Amino acid sequence: MIELARELRRSYALVERNFNLIRRYIGWEIVFLVYTVVNTLTIAFIGVNPATGGGGDRVLYLVVGALLWGFLSVLFHEVAESVQWERWEGTIEYSFMAPMKRLSYLGGVCLYAATYGAVRTVVVMLAVVALFKLDLGSANLGAALVVLLLSSLSFIGVGLMAAVLPLLSPEKGSQAAHILEAAILLVSGVYYEVSVLPGWLQPLSRLSPATYTLRAARAALLENASLRDIGGDLVLLLAIGVVLIPLGLKVFNWGELHAMRTGKLKRSG
Amino acid sequence: MEDTALECIGARKVFRVKKETRPETHLSTEWSVASAAGDPGGQDAAQPGTHGGKQGPGVNGHGAAIGATNGRHRGRLALSRAMATLFPRSVPVEAVSGVTFSVKRGEIFGILGPNGSGKSTLIRLISTLLLPDDGEIRVFGHDVVRERFAVRRLINRVSVEAAFFKKLSAMENLSYAARLYDVDIRQARRTAIEILKRLGFGENKAYEPLEDLSRGMQQKVAVARALLTSPVLLLLDEPTTGLDPVSKREVQDYVLEVRDSHDTTVILTTHDMQEADRLCDRVAIIDQGRFVALDTPMHLKAGLGRNGDGEAATLEDVFFALTGKALKESHPEEGD
């Protein structure tokens, strides 16, 4: 129990450090936030536009996609880029030399990512709701929240796997993580049904946890679906998280050992 | 706790480093052949697939044929260059080569060597940041590979490059370090200020972003960060590089003070022979990954006797005599 408390305090080091960094980069944070708000509003306006057959639930359909993708991509980015960021700052050796379980290190990164992503998403959501006067009276917000929690687990798992890439290849690892993120965006039906994808791409959508997240969240928010109604997707999201998080940790540990064997923890690689 | 702080038995580390490829050299030869054959398109030799010979009249009618052959060669060379860029060849380079030594508890042990001699690699092996390919390293009886976590509780390190989140202040960086090592945060902040003041670092500077401070100031924060966690084995990798003489002296005095007051063992790598002479109980000289001498500074100097000018030998004279090179001479194959 005492050891657990110690590890939690160590995890908090990452959360505090990253929020301190936000304060120091506050100008950029504001720019990114404004950009995200404007981007989401732009997407929502596509839903209103009569020329594209807009109206009705279409705005909410697109907004749900934009908000969820905003949250999940922040989660993915923060976890996947944690190693790359430390490498860039030159602190990776110091952080990895600390007597801290890697689970606690990555747990801290994930805790920060989820908190930061949630705060950003709430700000964007408030802006969208205020401008479009969206009616969420018939939405099952509780079920949507459960979807968000379970999808966070699966995205943390994907992020952990991507975080190892800079340990394997200091130069190309981060690039590969961006490609993975783009592929998830393409196949997951963020702004459209996956049925509109070419036949050869549709099987990939079934591999992406974002597909189930978006389908379940839309059902909860647009059709007032209950937890029972979206139970299948929830089980899938949970299963993906349960499999990917331990697997991600295993892969990360393997990647760290590889970096220690080849000297790639060092900034210059 | 054991009386032996560190045991290093036959430690060896090999890196694979990317090797320069040869196509450039071949290309020059091709270009020479083309030029000698009177190929005015020789200037295009660097462009893959250009049949330079066909652009000019050639000599005795051979120019076109040679040019076409050269074109094919150039194509192959371009392909080979592309492959070399995509899949660069690497060769093994031994950075640390079967090093054996031990350090007694409470000792200040110096490792001297030119850049690229393996000093920092050795420190990284002890710091659990690298896995040795061979041999064994034990810190107070704990193996650095099998008992990494236990070793990490006992050590801290100051690296030559002050590695921080430069946008954060000294205090924010030190708080981060304290939390990673589970040091009580209030106590850590008080201790940090005390250490920084002791190193001649004004308290008001502790809240400014580190990027606004000089390298010397940053290095003092690095020293404070390492000492904040009360390590029993302190690894100092060129800690005073870039410091002015006053700051250098402050750090050196503090290292001696820490050793005496905190029962800390210190392993120090340095280029500064006077620093090594002043601080170290024993000194090892490392060259191309191997220890070429290990003794007290006094014995090392006595062993050489007098230098070329007939004066009593200094540690620097010993160093030159044993390595045959200047202190900052670089070994190109290892980024030490």
User: Which residues are within 8 A (CB) of B101 and not within 5 positions of it... i.e. 6 or more apart?
Assistant: B6, B8, B109, B284, B291, B294
| pLDDT tens digit sequence for A67-96 | 999 998 898 888 888 888 888 888 999 999
B185-194: b (≥16 Cβ within 10 Å) or e: beebbebbbe
In chain B, where the domains are located? 4-10+92-161+231-323, 23-86
**Of the given ranges (A118-127, A133-142, A255-264, B85-94), which has the lowest mean pLDDT?**
B85-94
From A89, A260, A268, residue closest to B129, measured CB to CB: A260
A97·B164 Cβ contact <8 A: no
- Please list, in sequence order, all residues whose beta carbon lies within 8 angstroms of the beta carbon of residue A116, skipping any fewer than 6 positions away: A18, A19, A22, A74, A78
Q: Which of A17, A20, A263 sits opposite B15 (nearest CB)?
A: A263
Residue A56: helix, strand or coil by DSSP?
coil
What is the helix (H) or strand (E) element at residue B12, kind and residue range? strand B4-18
Buried b (16+ CB within 10 A) or exposed e, B116-132: bbbbbbbbbbbbbbbbb
**Residue of chain A nearest B125, judged by CA positions:** A260
B61 band by pLDDT with thresholds 50, 70 and 90 = very low
Q: Is the pLDDT of residue B323 over 70?
A: yes
Q: Evaluate if residue B48 carries a pLDDT over 90.
A: no
User: What is the 3 state secondary structure string of A67-130?
Assistant: HHHHHHHHHHHHHHCHHHHHHHHCCHHHHHHCCCCHHHHHHHHHHHHHHHHHHHHHHHHHHHHH
User: Mean per-residue pLDDT for A128-137?
Assistant: 84
- Token duo for residue B129: 């940041």
pLDDT at A56: 65
Residues of A in contact with B176 (CB under 8 A): 13, 16-17, 20
Q: Is the pLDDT of residue A10 over 60?
A: yes
pLDDT at residue B290, rounded to an integer: 94
Instruction: Name the more confident of B52 and A247.
Output: A247
Convert the pLDDT of each residue in B150-179 to its tens digit.
999 999 999 988 889 999 999 999 999 999
Sequence spans of domains, chain A: 2-262
Residues 145-174 in B contacting A (C-alpha not used; CB under 8 Å): 149, 152-153, 155-157, 159, 161, 163-168, 172
Nearest CA in chain A to B129: A260
Q: Chain A residues with CB inside 8 Å of B161's CB?
A: 90, 267
Is the CATH number 3.40.50.300 carried by domain B4-10+92-161+231-323?
yes
Chain B contact present for A268, CB below 8 A: yes
Min Cα separation A255/chain B (Å) = 13
The C-alpha of B169 sits at a distance from chain A's nearest C-alpha, in angstroms, of: 9
**pLDDT for position B68:** 62
Question: What ipTM did this prediction achieve?
Answer: 0.87
Mutation site for A-interface testing, chosen from B133, B167, B172, B176 by largest number of A Cβ within 10 Å: B176
CA B127 to chain centre: 13
Alpha-carbon gap: A129 to the closest alpha carbon of chain B (Å)? 35
Does any CB of chain A come closer than 8 Å to the CB of residue B14? Answer: no
Compute the average pLDDT of residues A134-153: 89
What's the pLDDT band for A183 if we cut at 50, 70, 90?
very high
pLDDT for A12 equals 95
| A164: helix, strand or coil | coil
pLDDT of residue B201: 87
